[in-house]
Structure 1
Amino acid sequence: MASHRVFALLALLLVLQAPASDAQHTKEVIVILNHANQFRMLIKLLQDTGILNLIQNAIDNPNPNFQGITVFAFNDVAFRKLPPGFIENRTLAQKRRLLQYQVLVGFFTFNGLSTLNGPVNTLAGVPLTIVQALPSRPFVSSGSVITAVKNPLTEDFSASVFLVFDVLIPPGL
């Protein structure tokens, strides 16, 4: 477990050392999410916390150790499932941790996720668990929430983005 945290923290430090991207690059991730027209709340949260720039920097300016990222994008319906005030009552650091928990350290295609079974590191330093509950249909679990991974919004190296219908809550949040 400690090695998972060390690996995720090292990956995050490497991402944070990437040069800042300009506004044109940041719009690329927004375009992917806006194309599906169901991620307004997620986009706002990604922008407000700076995580959008962190993700885009990792994609645009990969360091030699970068192996891609995989994002579980929860839609507006997922936000409405949360208890009232859940997001609003969190600190900036807690919101950042929540969003970093939706990002796997490593690039996975849908087929790649379909063959996994077990913990995978996140940018938050706490692993999510990939579970094969149905044939060829991966699910992702935070322990308290389990949700199906839907077909990708994009899965071009170095980033893949998958729709999920629940917000994955990291332990202790």
Structure 2
Amino acid sequence: MSLSTLISLLSLISLLNLSTSTNITQVLSTHPEYSQFNAYLSQTKLADEINTRQTITVLAVTNGALAPLAGKPLSVIKNVLSLHVLLDYFDAKKLHDIPDGSTLSTTLYQTTGNAQNKIGFVNITDLKGGKVGFGSGIPGSKLDSSYSKEIKQVPYNFSVVEISTPIIVPEILDAPSPTSDLNITGLLEKAGCKTFASLLLNTGVLKVYQSSITKGLTVFAPNDEAFKKKGVPDLSKLTNAELVTLLQYHALPSYSPIGSLKSSKDPISTIATNGAGKFDLSVGVAGDSVSLKTGLGDSRIASTVIDSTPFVVFTVDNVLVPKGLTGDSPFPAPTPGPAEAPAPADDSPSPAPSAKAPSPVLSPPAPPSESPNEGPADAPGSESSEDSKADKAAAGEIAPGKIVVFVTVSVGVIVAALVS
């Protein structure tokens, strides 16, 4: 085995181990004293955000210390816990060896765009006697919490440590839930989505959105320029039912912030999905860019209008057009293949649905058959050579001379191979 192959295999094993050990939910699940903290991370979807980042430190708090959060809205709990996710790596050694004895660390809350006056920072200070204190980054704030112990470390990438009490900022803890008196159309209009807001209001879909907020709702709002792009359907030609389906296709019946979307592997059901129509979306991720795939095209998530658990609104660059919305859909279709020659014009009755029509006279000659025992490729009532191949492929048959090999390799097998 070459040295380059050995290095590649070792790198693969390291990546597999890293992906397993950096799942915050799995890490905390083995420590029942953090079960409530872990539950909050899952309910607010912060766990998804944590798992998509590479350099991070989670400041965990025991169940008994979380009393100040009891009864608070999930949106408030999410903001408080966002202060407990540092966008830097800290272990015990680094905490006790802070340059100049004190530092301000950026938190996940700082990335929301709602942080002002250092509210999105945490002050970490090495106190006398080896004690490390934690507090809000707002000048003059007390260091009410302190370092307790290490829980999990993947050096320089992922760390979980326990602190004695949660870091409380009154401006966050006592803030009312933004969804308590929410003006959805006002938010959309301010974000440059006036056309989308007007459609929601005129069709009554706005009421569907409003009734879904408390259970969880994610909205993808096309900006006004998106409705002017080539390929967007003529809305005036859609029936009311089709227009409602189109608008419902722009929302998920669940709370899915950007971290949750990044971790999505399977198609996601929209509000438009029902027994009669499977209107799903797929998610594509390229670095920090997230796009939505409809089957007819992609639309990039451009910005976050509001993210307040359990409600989030994103703007998107293109109108999301689902496949199969109408029978003779005005929506862009996949590129067609070579056009078939027209059938001969005569007055003879059409063949029965189960019978195969003979090839038109003007069609190009079919390729010669591969076996001398085969009849003419396009004889009336028989299948062509290409049709036969397609039917065999559809039936799951494998052509002679073709070998398909499925190989499953575990990490243990790779290691055994390396040792031998």
Range of TM-score over shorter length? 0.7 to 0.9
Q: Which has the higher helix share?
A: 1
Aligned partner of 1:108 in structure 2 is 256
Distance 1:153 1:118 in 2: 25
Aligned partner of 2:296 in structure 1 is 144
Distance 1:88-1:155 versus aligned 2 partners, 3 A rule: same
Secondary structure, aligned partner of 2:190 = helix
CA contact (8 A) 1:118 1:131 kept: no
TM-score with structure 1 length normalisation?
0.75
TM-score with structure 2 length normalisation?
0.32
- Name structure 2 gaps, 5 residues minimum: 1-179, 274-278, 326-420
Identical columns (%): 28
Secondary structure, aligned partner of 1:150 = strand
Aligned partner of 2:270 in structure 1 is 122
CA contact (8 A) 2:212 2:253 kept: no
CA contact (8 A) 1:153 1:163 kept: yes
Distance 1:26 1:48 in 2: 21
Aligned partner of 2:408 in structure 1 is none
Matches within 5 A, 1:29-108: 29-36=184-191, 38-59=192-213, 62=214, 66=215, 68-83=216-231, 86-108=234-256
Secondary structure, aligned partner of 1:149 = strand
Distance 2:193 2:309 in 1: 22
Aligned partner of 1:9 in structure 2 is none
CA contact (8 A) 1:26 1:56 kept: no
CA deviations on 1:53-90 (whole Å, 9 max, x unpaired) are: 1101222xx4xxx3x11110001111001557611111
Distance 1:97 1:145 in 2: 18
CA contact (8 A) 1:26 1:53 kept: no
Give the AA of the match of 1:97. Answer: T
Give the AA of the match of 1:86. Answer: D
Distance 1:35-1:84 versus aligned 2 partners, 3 A rule: closer
CA contact (8 A) 2:303 2:316 kept: no
Cα root mean square deviation, aligned: 1.9
Distance 2:181 2:310 in 1: 15
Secondary structure, aligned partner of 1:131 = strand
- Find 1:131's aligned residue among 284, 291, 296: 284
Distance 1:156 1:108 in 2: 11
Aligned partner of 2:308 in structure 1 is 156
Distance 1:170 1:31 in 2: 26
Aligned partner of 1:167 in structure 2 is 319
CA contact (8 A) 2:221 2:315 kept: yes
Structure with more contact order per residue of length (Cα contacts < 8 Å, sep ≥ 6)? 1
Which stretches of structure 1, 4 residues or longer, exceed 6 Å deviation after superposition?
none
CA contact (8 A) 1:26 1:52 kept: no
CA deviations on 1:77-135 (whole Å, 9 max, x unpaired) are: 11001557611111110000000111112101112212223311100102111111x11
Residue 151 of structure 1, CA deviation: 2.5
Secondary structure, aligned partner of 1:73 = strand
Residue 27 of structure 1, CA deviation: 6.5
- Number of residue pairs aligned between Structure 1 and Structure 2: 141
Distance 1:75 1:161 in 2: 12
**Greater gyration radius:** 2
CA contact (8 A) 2:232 2:319 kept: no
Residue 147 of structure 1, CA deviation: 1.3
